[in-house]
Amino acid sequence: MARTLAMFTDVSLCIGCRACQVACKQWNQLAPEEPEWTGSYQNHAHFTDKTYRLVRFFEETDATGQMKQWHMMSDVCKHCAQAGCLEACPTGAIYRTEYGTVNINQDICNGCRYCVSACPFGVVAFNHDTGTATKCTFCNDRIHNGLGPACAKACPTESIRFGFRDELAGKAKQRVEELKKLGYKDAQLYGEDTNGALGGLNAFFLLLGKPSIYGLPDKPKLPQRNVIADSLLSIGSALLVGLGALVAFRSRDDKGGA
């Protein structure tokens, strides 16, 4: 296996411009969607089958209700080392590349949507037009041709950096120390630790406060490993997976598809 590639998003450098979001749309030729009221600048509210990169906006107020900080964070598929989507996929459509990224083979996906609910970050979305699950691939075509992902390339402030995971992790740790010296005492990395939650995230983040400020789970877990009591449900799920797969294959056959 080649060296793991990763994306390091440093929110202390993010200006919330959403270049990444649009560059992703352009490169991946994703259709626009009518936006909705979210109560802030953010659109869309969630990842969708047409939005793989999403800049989230959070206003943090202090104890007296005064404005403390306006956080902006460009969110993306984490390409987890222990990927819930991959583990939940009954057909083998979801696979890990030699660079450690997690992709969904659109020709094999049967549209069962188990990956959608298995993702602890709400990343994977179902595309009703193709009947398949979709998400960020780190621009698979670009990285296999020596180019960085479109989002990282467009980022004006280099808040999104792309490269070899070990090198980026070193830089990220250094950056946390620098920020702490500058007075950002809550600066911390999220997902960088390969011994941490989900075996580390291949898209990891530098946050300026606790993860929940950014809408991230403090300790991300795979839903299928949550509690033993869920195991019964899991067995049920497994049955359904099989059934779902059958149905999906059949319906695809009906359409003359794969």
Least separation, in Å, of the C-beta of 31 and other proteins? 8
Residue (98 or 193) nearer to other proteins, CB: 98
Least separation, in Å, of the C-beta of 256 and other proteins? 20
Residue (185 or 219) nearer to other proteins, CB: 185
Least separation, in Å, of the C-beta of 183 and other proteins? 9
Residues that bind other proteins (CB under 8 A): 2-3, 5, 13, 15-19, 21-23, 25-27, 31-41, 43-44, 59, 61, 65-67, 69-72, 95, 97-99, 103, 105, 107, 137, 140-148, 150, 152-158, 161-164, 167
Residue (75 or 220) nearer to other proteins, CB: 75
3-state SS track over the chain: CCCCEEEEEEHHHCCCCCHHHHHHHHHHCCCCCCCCCCCCCCCCCCCECCECCEEEEEEEECCCCCEEEEEEEEECCCCECCCHHHHHCCCCCEEECCCCCEEECCCCCCCCCHHHHHCCCCCCEEECCCCEEECCCCCHHHHCCCCCCHHHHHCCCCCEEEEEHHHHHHHHHHHHHHHHHCCCCCCEEECCCCCCHHHCECEEEEECCCHHHHCCCCCCCCHHHCCHHHHHHHHHHHHHHHHHHHHHHHHHHHCCCC
Residue (32 or 256) nearer to other proteins, CB: 32
Least separation, in Å, of the C-beta of 232 and other proteins? 35
Least separation, in Å, of the C-beta of 245 and other proteins? 19
Residue (45 or 238) nearer to other proteins, CB: 45
HSE-up (13 A, CA, CB side) for residue 201: 26
Q: Which two tokens stand for residue 4?
A: 């793991």
Least separation, in Å, of the C-beta of 235 and other proteins? 31
Amino acid at 148: G
Distance of alpha carbon 151 from alpha carbon 180, whole angstroms: 27
Residue (27 or 190) nearer to other proteins, CB: 27
Least separation, in Å, of the C-beta of 165 and other proteins? 11
Residue 44 has a CB neighbour count (10 Å cut-off) of 15
Residue (27 or 121) nearer to other proteins, CB: 27
